Amino acid sequence: MKKTDAPNLNASQPPALSGKTLVVLAGPTASGKTALGIWLARQFQTEILSADSRQCYKQLNIGVARPSPEELAAVPHHFIASHDIQENLNAGWYESYGLRELDQLFKKHSVVLVVGGTGLYIKALTEGMDIMPSIPPELREAVTLAYHTSGLSWLQGAVQKEDPLFWQSAEQMNPQRLMRALEFIRATGESIMTYRKQQKQPRDFQVISIALDLPREVLYERINDRVDIMIKEGLEKEVQHLYPMRHLNALQTVGYKEWYPYFEGACTLDQVREKIQQNTRHYAKRQVTWFKKQQDFLWFSPADKEKILNCIQSRIKH
C-alpha cells in the first residue's frame, strides 16, 4: 500500500529544541500497532508510551488486547496496566501524565514511541488540550446512569436538543463523546464547542505521525477473528469477575459491556460474540475517521515496516 499524499509533517510543529523526536504510531484496533511498535522501538533502542485509554487499567486484560507478557518484556512499556479502574482518567489528565513521562524518557533516548488508538489522547499529548471547567461527579454519574437506562437514542436526542452546536459536528454514534458534551452543557450552560480553540501548544520535541491502514474487509476479518480468540482465552470469566463494578466508566467499553445482558439472562453467548464483533468494527471505523481528519498523519500498511522505518529516519531532525 502506498502512503497517501500528506503535507510536510513538520510544517505546523515548532523546531525541535534539543534533537528530541516523538514517533506516533496510531490506527484502528487490530491493525497491528503492538507488534510494529515493538519492532520500531527495537530499531531505535527506545521505549514505548501507550496511548490506549483502556489498556492502562490493571483489571482489564483480554478484552482490551493488552500486549502479552512476552511483548511487554521485549521493550519497556509505560501506561500499560498502570492504573486502577476506579480512577477517572481523561485526555486532559493524559496530557499532563504523558508529558511527565516523556520528560523522563527523553533524558535516556532521543527518539520515543507513542503507540495506541485513542485519538484524543494522542492529540492532547502532541498538541495540548483546551482548559475546560471540571464536571461535578454527581452530574457525570447521573448522565451515565440515564444513558444506560434509556439507551443511545435518548442520548442522541438530548444532545441534539440541548447542544445543537456540538451535534452538528459530533460523532453521533459515539456515546462517550455525546455524554461528555451533555455533561458539559448541563454543568456550565455553554456548548463544549465554545471552549475548543484548536490552538496547538508548543512542544520541545519534533512529532512524526504514522497511521496504519488496511482494506476494510481485511481489518474486519481480523477483528472478528480476534474476538473469537478472546472468548477462547477466557474473556467471559474476566468480565464476570468485573461485573459488580460495571457502573464504572472504565467498564463501559467494547468487549465488556456486551456481556452484561448475558449475565442477566437477556441474550445468548452467540449474540454476545456477534455484538462484540459488530461494536468493535464500528469502533474501528470511528478510529479511522478520526485519524483521517488529522492532517499530519502518513498512512502505511502494517506490512510496510521497512518503508515506515525509512520514512521516520528521513524526517528526524539532528
Q: Which of 89-98, 125-134, 167-176: highest mean pLDDT? A: 89-98
Give residue 100's domain range. 21-130+201-233+287-315
The total of structural domains in the chain comes to 2
Order of strands, edge to edge, in the sheet holding 77-78?
A: 77-78, 48-50, 111-115, 21-26, 206-212, 297-300
Q: Tell me if 34 is assigned to a ligand binding site.
A: yes
Angle between helices 216-232 and 235-242 (to 10 degrees): 70
Q: Tell me if 32 is assigned to a ligand binding site.
A: yes
Can you give the pLDDT at residue 193? 82
Mark whether 211 and 299 lie in a shared domain.
Answer: yes
CA 114, CA 61: separation in Å to the nearest integer? 20
> Which tens digit of pLDDT belongs to each residue from 212-246?
999 999 999 999 999 999 999 999 999 999 999 99
Q: Cell triple for residue 93?
A: 489528565
Task: Give the pLDDT mean for 32-45.
Answer: 98
> Which tens digit of pLDDT belongs to each residue from 185-206?
998 888 888 776 567 889 999 9
Q: Tell me if 29 is assigned to a ligand binding site.
A: yes
Can you give the pLDDT at residue 284? 96
Q: Tell me if 151 is assigned to a ligand binding site.
A: no
The answer to the question of residue 167 being in a domain is: yes
Its pTM surpasses 0.75: yes
Mark whether 100 and 187 lie in a shared domain.
Answer: no
Give the distance from CA 41 to its chain's centroid.
Answer: 20
The answer to the question of residue 254 being in a domain is: no
Task: Give the pLDDT mean for 110-125.
Answer: 96
CA 117, CA 25: separation in Å to the nearest integer? 8
> If we measure between CA atoms, which residue out of 74, 85, 83 comes closest to residue 101?
83
Mark whether 48 and 150 lie in a shared domain.
Answer: no
Mark whether 55 and 184 lie in a shared domain.
Answer: no
Residue % of the chain over a pLDDT of 90:
71
CA 184, CA 144: separation in Å to the nearest integer? 13
Kindly report the CATH number assigned to the domain that includes residue 113: 3.40.50.300
Q: Tell me if 144 is assigned to a ligand binding site.
A: no
Asked whether the beta carbons of 179 and 143 are under 8 A apart, the reply is yes
Mark whether 187 and 117 lie in a shared domain.
Answer: no
Here the contacts of 214-221 (C-beta below 8 Å, separation 24 or greater) are 214/28, 214/31, 214/32, 214/301, 214/302, 219/28, 219/30, 219/31, 219/284, 220/281, 220/284
Kindly report the CATH number assigned to the domain that includes residue 181: 1.10.20.140
Task: Give the pLDDT mean for 6-20.
Answer: 49
> What is the pLDDT confidence band of residue 15, given thresholds at 50, 70 and 90?
very low
Q: Tell me if 108 is assigned to a ligand binding site.
A: no
Mark whether 73 and 211 lie in a shared domain.
Answer: yes
CA-only gyration radius of the chain, Å: 20
